[in-house]
Amino acid sequence: MLDATIRPHREYLLAQTTGQKLFVMLNIKPDAAATAARPDLSVVFVVDTSGSMREVVTEPTERTGQTTFVDGQRYEVVRGAKNKLELVTEALRGIIGSDLIQPADRLALVKFDDMADVLVPFTVASDRARLLSAVEKLDWYSGGTQMGAGMKAGTKLLTGESGSRRMVLLTDGQAFDAAVVQEQAAVLSGMQVPVTTIGVGDEVNTELLTEITDRTQGQPIDVVPDNQNPQPPAVRASELPAALLGDLKQAAAEVVTNVALTVRAVKDVVLERVTRVQPTQTEVARADGPLQLGNVEAGSGATYILEFTLPERPAARMRLAQLGLTYQVPGANYRGEIPPLDVVVEFTGDEAMAARVEPEVMQWVQQRNVESLVAQAAREAQNNPEQAAKTLEQARSMTQRLGNGAMTQVLDRAIGELGSSKTISLGTAKTMRLGAKTQTLKSGPETPGSAPSGLPSDEEIRKMTGA
């Protein structure tokens, strides 16, 4: 019920050359039978109810001139506007009443501030009155940000669930218990439960949230106040309900779950990293056993890049590795396994043959490298803004060649800020970091061996791959 194909970035590599790179594209896609088997959903919403969630983020119709204190912070009192928590509440009401949710789906709600509480355990979606009653209780609480405690409570609820499981984490602040957050991200990764993180505002710990989504093969969503001019992947606060519904639609489309990859490489062939590059970009956590690739949507499927480092080899055609995949289709109560896929290349002394590349594979590799450069520039910006600007120029050149206009705009803004203020604003840094993960492109058809506009020249590719 799952189709899989592989393609190396080169069919030929230079013989008698050590340290060459081999990039292998792995495409997996549910077949028609799996696509028709929608799984029952089990989704727990873990919601931040700290005091700062009362901050207004949509445009008011009237300003009263009054202020109020909540948890030591002063807020303006306005009319006709919505605060963060009100938007979350509105979004959850919409989900409970949505046609996307089927009667057998199960939803749960956890709140966290100074402590975590289960407002409603997993309940069938047909019991809307009970679920809506729990949502209305969100406004009863305020305090700190014990995000890890909230995740722990949500994780405990998920352990007893089946079908397609998911956690949606909504927060606007820094976690007081980051170590517990990281611990729970590891537990959820082991359970193969993806986490959607929804960060509201500029004060969120973006690094921590992206660590959660990376470890669990989840998705980050960035929400900014309506008076800002967000660039993708950020959405306006008033668009949060639609963004949450979109995430649930994606969850319902994940008809294949718990995909695990086993890589058996021949002697001295080293698997360096595995990156999911489509539909969103995340690093696959290294493990002693099978690598957890997460869930796969019907229609688009998923694409991964495997990076190998190769030893010196004589001229010959060789199998370098064998890939095995296991998976589940919960909607059909089915567990499957794909026959082994052989990674085979030919080592040759012909430099012209070794220079030929598969453009689609290299396009994904270039996209993956944009994220690495963005992360590098963010570190450099703290002490060496000139070098950070140069690194972002390199990333910008890649996004231009890939035709990724959204990311090019974000990088232009960051480069401009470095030039004028020698720093990158929090909002731009966040958009840049998340954009590198979510603004991915599906490459178009190219002639094998050609050098399309979205790719570097053969000489640049030879330098990058060590060939």
pLDDT value for 62: 65
Cβ atoms 303, 259 nearer than 8 A = no
pLDDT value for 261: 96
φ/ψ of residue 360, rounded to 5: -65, -40
pLDDT value for 446: 40
Cβ atoms 443, 360 nearer than 8 A = yes
pLDDT value for 346: 96
Q: Which of 446, 260, 251, 297 is nearest to 364 (CA)?
A: 446
Q: Which residue did the predictor score with more confidence, 363 or 441? A: 363
- 166 has a pLDDT exceeding 90: yes
Dump the DSSP string for 207-240: HHHHHHHHHHT-EEEEEE-TTS---TTEEEGGGH
Q: Which of 221, 266, 270, 268 is nearest to 247 (CA)?
A: 221
Looking at residue 197, its amino acid is T
Q: Report the alpha-carbon distance of residue 210 to residue 219 in Å, rounded.
A: 8
Whole-prediction pTM value? Answer: 0.83
- 444 has a pLDDT exceeding 90: no
Q: Report the alpha-carbon distance of residue 183 to residue 197 in Å, rounded.
A: 16
Q: Report the alpha-carbon distance of residue 290 to residue 303 in Å, rounded.
A: 17
Q: What is the pLDDT of residues 42-96, one digit of tens each?
A: 999 999 999 888 888 877 766 767 777 766 677 677 666 788 899 899 999 999 9
Cβ atoms 5, 299 nearer than 8 A = no
pLDDT value for 5: 97
Q: Report the alpha-carbon distance of residue 283 to residue 262 in Å, rounded.
A: 16
Cβ atoms 76, 108 nearer than 8 A = no
Q: Which residues have a Cβ under 8 Å from the Cβ of 74 and sit 6 or more positions away?
A: 67, 68
- 467 has a pLDDT exceeding 80: no
Dump the DSSP string for 63-118: EEEEEEEETTEEEEEEES--BHHHHHHHHHHHHHT-TTS-TT-EEEEEEESSSEEE
